[in-house]
Amino acid sequence: MEPPLTRPDLDSQGLRGFLRMVEARFPGELLRIAAPVRPQLDITSAVFELEKAGRDPVLVFEQVEGHAMPVVTNTTGNRRLLAACLDVAVGDLPTAFRERCQRYVPCETVDAAPWQEVTLDGDAVDLTTLPIPIHFSVDAAPYITAGQLVARDPVTGVDTTGFHRLMLKGKNRLGVSLHSRRRMWEFHRRAEERGEPLPVSITLGVHPLHYMGSMVYAYPPAVRKFEIVGGLFGEPYRLARCVNGLEVPAGAEIVVEGEILPGQHEPEGPFGEFTGYASYRSTQNVFVAHRLHMRRDAMFHSVASGMAKDHILVSCITREGEILNTLRRNLPNVIAVHVPHTTCGAFMAFVKMRKTAEGEPQQAIMAALGTEFYTKYVIVVDEDVDIFDMKDVMWAVATRVRAERDIVLVPGCKGAILDPTSDPQTFTLTKMGIDATRPVGQDFAERLTISDAQRARVRGILQSAGVMV
Ligand SMILES: Cc1cc2nc3c(=O)[nH]c(=O)nc-3n(C[C@H](O)[C@H](O)[C@H](O)COP(=O)(O)O)c2cc1C
């Protein structure tokens, strides 16, 4: 048998390149687990257990019962590793991400990719042979969570790439939900209008920079998302062509070619979603697989679901970058934006600004709420508040807000389908902005502070008394 095809230039832009970088630069952040695990529950619950213990390492499960293929998870649960992918300091991550994802770099198409080593067609396709985890006990079936779906707009021909949960229904059948209603949803709607299926390729085993680029939503319709990923890599993203003509990342591990059927809906879910709830809401679409490609030594990538950081952290950073981008156009005095993990990486944004005039927080609230539909609460604070510390933000709300003056409600807005507060028929909800800034040009209560010099002095005293290390 021929050895597996190695292409360092392709691997560097895939999951393997990322694992190599982590092993070389952050060896403590990659754990290889040789003990046998079950695909049912063990993989995702290990991520949660480590998170509870304050650890977010990448995990490689080498022995998954019933399967020869290892499972890699939690590649994006750690801001430090994501910052390293962009070669920036952790504090600069949202800004660097925002800037780089606006540099659209044309892709390069290569002739051969390692995932073309093994190809199974038609009846030989059997997705049940893959080590697909069950993440939570509520999940209706095993779920592929790291499948990047690639399709072309049937009208313009421009392609897109994005994660969509995939429920294993049979050898060649997957349930899929397009509930985020972005490009894939729209492309499928356009194909359906013509009575046609939408050709789709599912790619597994992509680099975190692909994950991050795929979550960008504010960009011109003629731009390919792959060009955004190229901007993040700082070089052309290398793609290879599937039999169906779609182009997918050349450095991937596994590729499934198939189509989303027109006019067909089947039950899909429940599934443990990013909201921290079992989600019964779904667009209930159906994907049929025609062809399965993989590397001879393929690894199976899985995103830990529910509220795991692996599922949410990139959404936090994407939204921080996008909202900052919107705000800075009109409000150069906005300093930073934070979308906390504890608000599902989606529903709440904290904005820190150096307020120069009354009304600026309200401008920021309107712009941030209008950036996209998942953001439903915005809190604006002054420059002395640490927006990465929920306690500090709550203190500002508690001490600087007068409800009758500082709270803005916007009823009837489009909300997220998966948000349990959105209307079950229309998915609308009321958005809210809170201005937690002090008034300009008026006396206001003086915040208590302890200077850095005093802190250092007292730390020295406590250390010499043996009560602090
Ligand atoms: C791990 C993960 C899973 C996701 N699952 C879904 C999903 O099941 N359905 C969906 O519509 N969006 C899902 N999303 C969000 C989309 O991937 C995201 O909105 C993307 O930008 C959509 O790309 P598109 O414009 O190509 O549709 C998921 C995001 C992540 C990070």
Q: DSSP assignment of 156-179, as one string?
A: T--EEEEE--EEEEETTEEEE--T
Please compute the mean of the pLDDT values over residues 114-119 and round it to a whole number.
98
Task: Indicate which atom in ligand 1 lies nearest the CA of residue 165.
Answer: 8
DSSP state of 145: -
For residues 120 and 236, membership in a common domain is answered with: yes
- With a 6 Å cutoff on the Cβ, whether 239 touches ligand 1 is no
Nearest CA to ligand 1 atom 31: 311
pLDDT band at 286 (very low <50, low <70, confident <90, very high): very high
- Distance, in Å, from the CA atom of 133 to the CA atom of 136, rounded to the nearest integer, reads 9
The answer to which of 3-12, 41-50, 104-113 has the lowest mean pLDDT is 3-12
At residue 95, does pLDDT exceed 90? no
pLDDT of residue 257: 98
At residue 4, does pLDDT exceed 80? no
pLDDT band at 9 (very low <50, low <70, confident <90, very high): confident
- With a 6 Å cutoff on the Cβ, whether 275 touches ligand 1 is no
Q: Is residue 467 part of a domain?
A: no
pLDDT of residue 120: 98
For residues 231 and 335, membership in a common domain is answered with: no
pLDDT of residue 414: 95
The CATH number linked to 75 is 2.30.110.10
Q: Is residue 464 part of a domain?
A: no
Give the Å distance between the CA of 162 and the centre of ligand 1: 5
Task: Indicate which atom in ligand 1 lies nearest the CA of residue 176.
Answer: 8
- Distance, in Å, from the CA atom of 205 to the CA atom of 14, rounded to the nearest integer, reads 7
Give residue 442's identity as a one-letter amino acid code.
Q
Q: Are strands 118-121 and 285-294 parallel, antiparallel or unpaired?
A: antiparallel
Q: Is residue 443 part of a domain?
A: no
Task: Indicate which atom in ligand 1 lies nearest the CA of residue 211.
Answer: 31
Structural tokens at position 41: 């529950």
For residues 285 and 347, membership in a common domain is answered with: no
Respond yes or no on whether the N-terminal peptide bond of residue 8 is cis (omega within 30° of 0).
no
Q: Is residue 442 part of a domain?
A: no
Q: Is residue 24 part of a domain?
A: yes
For residues 351 and 263, membership in a common domain is answered with: no
pLDDT tens digits, 172-214? 999 999 999 999 999 999 999 999 999 999 999 999 999 999 9
For residues 277 and 372, membership in a common domain is answered with: no
Q: Per residue in 296-316, is it b (16+ CB within 10 Å) or e — as a string? A: eebbbbbbbbbbbbbbbbbbb
Whether the Cβ atoms of residue 113 and residue 6 lie closer than 8 Å to each other: no
DSSP run (H or E) holding 371: helix 360-371
- Distance, in Å, from the CA atom of 252 to the CA atom of 249, rounded to the nearest integer, reads 6
What's the chain's average pLDDT?
Answer: 96
Range list of β-strands (E), 171-319: 173-176, 198-204, 238-241, 247-249, 254-260, 271-272, 278-279, 285-294, 300-302
- With a 6 Å cutoff on the Cβ, whether 422 touches ligand 1 is no
For residues 139 and 237, membership in a common domain is answered with: yes
- Give the burial class of 253: count Cβ atoms within 10 A of its Cβ; 0-12 exposed, 13-18 middle, 19 or more buried: buried
- Give the burial class of 280: count Cβ atoms within 10 A of its Cβ; 0-12 exposed, 13-18 middle, 19 or more buried: middle
pLDDT of residue 221: 94
For residues 336 and 244, membership in a common domain is answered with: no
- What's the total number of domains in the chain? 2
pLDDT of residue 337: 95
pLDDT of residue 1: 58
Task: Indicate which atom in ligand 1 lies nearest the CA of residue 187.
Answer: 27
Give the Å distance between the CA of 100 and the centre of ligand 1: 21
Range of the domain at 164: 8-300
Q: DSSP assignment of 288-334, as one string?
A: EEEEEEE-TT--EEE---TT-HHHHHHHHHHHHHHHHHHHHHH-TTE
pLDDT of residue 280: 94
The CATH number linked to 396 is 3.40.1670.10
Please compute the mean of the pLDDT values over residues 136-157 and round it to a whole number.
98
pLDDT of residue 98: 86
The preferred substitution site among 163, 271, 286, 318 for testing ligand 1, maximizing ligand atoms within 8 Å of CB, is: 163
For residues 295 and 335, membership in a common domain is answered with: no
At residue 3, does pLDDT exceed 80? no
At residue 5, does pLDDT exceed 70? no
Query: Helix %, strand %, coil % for the chain, to 5?
Result: 30, 25, 45
pLDDT tens digits, 14-58? 999 999 999 999 999 999 999 999 999 999 999 999 999 999 999
At residue 6, does pLDDT exceed 70? no
Task: Indicate which atom in ligand 1 lies nearest the CA of residue 310.
Answer: 1
pLDDT of residue 91: 86
Nearest CA to ligand 1 atom 25: 183
The preferred substitution site among 148, 180, 316, 375 for testing ligand 1, maximizing ligand atoms within 8 Å of CB, is: 180
- With a 6 Å cutoff on the Cβ, whether 180 touches ligand 1 is yes
For residues 395 and 295, membership in a common domain is answered with: no
- With a 6 Å cutoff on the Cβ, whether 188 touches ligand 1 is no
Share of the chain above pLDDT 70, in %: 99
Task: Indicate which atom in ligand 1 lies nearest the CA of residue 179.
Answer: 11
Give the Å distance between the CA of 38 and the centre of ligand 1: 26
- Distance, in Å, from the CA atom of 367 to the CA atom of 364, rounded to the nearest integer, reads 5
Domain endpoint, select from 253, 278, 300: 300
- With a 6 Å cutoff on the Cβ, whether 286 touches ligand 1 is no
Q: Is residue 231 part of a domain?
A: yes
- Give the burial class of 410: count Cβ atoms within 10 A of its Cβ; 0-12 exposed, 13-18 middle, 19 or more buried: middle
pLDDT of residue 2: 64
pLDDT of residue 28: 96
pLDDT tens digits, 392-423? 999 999 999 999 999 999 999 999 999 999 99
- With a 6 Å cutoff on the Cβ, whether 178 touches ligand 1 is yes
Q: DSSP assignment of 69-102, as one string?
A: S-EEE-TTS-HHHHHHHTTS-GGGHHHHHHHHTT
For residues 251 and 351, membership in a common domain is answered with: no
For residues 289 and 424, membership in a common domain is answered with: no
pLDDT of residue 420: 94
- With a 6 Å cutoff on the Cβ, whether 160 touches ligand 1 is yes
- With a 6 Å cutoff on the Cβ, whether 206 touches ligand 1 is no
For residues 286 and 335, membership in a common domain is answered with: no
Q: Is residue 444 part of a domain?
A: no
Q: Is residue 55 part of a domain?
A: yes
The answer to which of 201-205, 352-356, 371-375 has the lowest mean pLDDT is 371-375
